[in-house]
Amino acid sequence: IEVARSNTGIFISQRKYVLDLLDETGMLDCSKPLETPMDPNQKLMIDDGDVEDPMKNLSFVGKLNYLIVTHPYIAFPVSVVSQFLSSPRSSHWDVVIRILRYFKGSPGRGLLHCDQHHRVEGFSDADWTGSPSDRRFTTGYCVFVGGNLVSWKSKKQSVVTRSSVESEYRAMANVTCELMWTRQLLSELGFGDPSPMQLWCDNQAAIHIGSNPVFHKRTKHIEVDYHFIREKLQQKLISTDFVKTAKQLADVFTKSLGNGRIKTICNKLGIYGMYAPTRGGVLDKDKLGLRVNYSLYQVVLHYKYNVISVVLTSFWSDTFISDF
């Protein structure tokens, strides 16, 4: 992981790692970049195409999984291809290659963490029967601390739900767990905030279920443990609010999106390109005022709070601090 810092904040990326992957697959010089990591209209099936080498597929999917540390917007396509690791087909391998070709357009993108406030908020979303093979929904969420993205997830739900409302409510329950854990960790680090954490959802019915303590036929089959979200609402630890789908940041974690939509969400997530494309991918230090530095101690001295954001990202992404 590469770390750059300036008066704006701390920027983390994996440019060299991306270039090494492109070189390993022979796409560094011969392949044109693509605008999206996955075709929005593509639905993968378990037996779609010829059988591929399982070890090769497993190796590259694992490498892409590590790239999610600084490129959260590929969490969904990587999650999709990860479902076929035991018996990969040519269509699954094509998605892996497509993700890499997408990176070729801007290998230096990464996460920018700025020193702002301590407020914690989360966005939750669920895709409507996104998996054609088993009709399970995909849960997606992202958590921000001080406006900085520190946690995210894209995962197929473990059970088949019978309505979009139920799937959205399950996604809200999942992000509530993450919000509570984040609040506890920040409190232990001395950054506690007594105000309720904001939970944004684009489904009015799911929000109503969380705030309504009455069981009825539409919710009685949902496991009781998911209803702890009501308790957190009553304790004023969280606050649920509606967000329009056009402003739903967790949308990128539940489905494949078009180029324009991906760019909009990435900008809101704090994902930027540090390297000037006009110079062939060479760092434009004069223009951006950024200085690459691999010393964590120097970063700590200058940006105490920003480092906490980086550490949080490392914890949730299974990246140890020694990687810096």
Helices 54-67 and 15-24, interaxial angle, to 10°?
160
* C-alpha 286: how far from chain center: 31
**Can you give the residue ranges of every domain in the chain?**
1-13+107-324
pLDDT at 291 over 50: no
The 120-127 sheet, strands edge to edge: 148-156, 138-145, 120-127, 197-201, 238-242
pTM (two decimals): 0.81
The helix (H) or strand (E) run that includes residue 121 is strand 120-127
When the pLDDT of each residue in the chain is averaged and rounded to a whole number, the result is: 81
Residues 166 and 227: beta-carbon distance below 8 Å: no
pLDDT at 183 over 50: yes
CA gyration radius, the chain: 20
Percentage of the chain beyond pLDDT 70 is 79
Q: Provide the pLDDT confidence category of residue 279 given band limits of 50, 70 and 90.
A: very low
Q: Provide the pLDDT confidence category of residue 142 given band limits of 50, 70 and 90.
A: very high
pLDDT at 287 over 60: no
For residue 233, count other CB atoms closer than 10 A to its CB. Answer: 19
- If you search the block for the tokens 């969400």, which residue do you land on? 265
pLDDT at 264 over 90: yes
Q: Which CATH architecture describes the domain 1-13+107-324?
A: 2-Layer Sandwich (3.30)
* C-alpha 250: how far from chain center: 8
How confident is the model over 201-214, as pLDDT tens digits? Answer: 999 988 988 777 66
